[in-house]
Structures are given as structure tokens and as C-alpha cells.
């Protein structure tokens, strides 16, 4: 039981730090024009989670570390909605609609692509 908790905590720690570093680096490159950091992190996270699932890595402590801990902390649903809400409040609704559409579209597309690639790799072995 405690090893499960440790796997989730360690994964969550690594995922949160990775999200912060990657998101800040990407966002600072665009000077706050658009939340590209969160968009990128969430798309990559969707891809990786589906990839892990397709590779049959969805049980045990490896899944708890990577899937539940790392990906759970790496991707961020609440930030997406806060950024979208902030755009609406600042009267940037068109940019907000583009952002939310890209977020869900790229997320679903990335998950689909991750699963396809993972499934193809697992079929080879």
C-alpha cells in the first residue's frame, strides 16, 4: 500500500516540476500573447498517457508513477479553464474560443495519435 502512495507522490512531484519548467519556458518565449505553454503541456500529456495505455503500461506501480502521478500533475485541466476565463474577463473572447477549441482538439488528437503509435510499437514486439 505504501509503495503505491510513494509511486504516486514521486510521479506527482516530477510531473508538477516538469509542467512548471516546460510551461514557463514556452510561455516566456511568446511574452504572454497566448497560453502556448499550457496548450503544449496538455497536448503532450494527452499523447503520453494514451501512448502508455496502448503499450499496456496501465497497472501496478509503474502506472501509478507515470499515469496517475506524473501525468496527473503534468497536465492541468484547471489552468486551462482559468486561462480561458481570464481571456473572457479581459474581453478577449475570440482568442479564448480559439484557445479552448485548440486545447480540446489537440488533446483528443494527441491522445489518438499516442494510442495509434503505442499500439503499432506493441504490435512489433
pLDDT value for 76: 87
pLDDT surpassing 80 at residue 32: no
Q: Please tell me the total count of domains within the chain.
A: 1
pLDDT tens digits for 88-110? 999 888 999 999 999 999 999 99
pLDDT tens digits for 43-92? 999 999 999 999 999 889 999 999 999 999 999 888 999 999 999 999 88
Q: Give the contacts of 58 (CB within 8 A, at least 6 positions apart).
A: 52, 67
pLDDT value for 81: 92
Domain containing 71: what range? 2-124
Please state the rounded mean pLDDT for residues 113-118.
97
CA-closest candidate to residue 110, choices 54, 70, 33, 32? 54
CA-closest candidate to residue 116, choices 54, 56, 58? 54
pLDDT value for 82: 93
Amino acid at each position: 500500500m505504501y509503495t503505491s502512495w510513494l509511486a504516486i507522490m514521486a510521479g506527482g512531484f516530477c510531473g508538477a516540476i516538469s509542467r512548471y519548467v516546460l510551461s514557463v519556458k514556452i510561455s516566456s518565449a511568446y511574452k504572454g500573447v497566448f497560453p502556448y505553454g499550457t496548450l503544449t503541456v496538455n497536448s503532450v500529456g494527452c499523447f503520453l498517457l494514451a501512448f502508455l495505455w496502448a503499450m499496456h503500461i496501465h497497472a501496478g506501480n509503474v502506472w501509478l508513477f507515470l499515469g496517475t502521478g506524473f501525468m496527473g500533475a503534468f497536465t492541468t485541466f484547471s489552468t486551462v479553464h482559468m486561462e480561458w476565463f481570464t481571456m473572457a474577463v479581459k474581453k478577449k473572447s475570440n482568442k479564448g474560443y480559439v484557445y479552448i477549441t485548440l486545447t480540446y482538439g489537440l488533446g483528443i488528437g494527441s491522445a489518438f495519435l499516442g494510442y495509434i503509435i503505442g499500439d503499432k510499437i506493441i504490435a512489433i514486439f
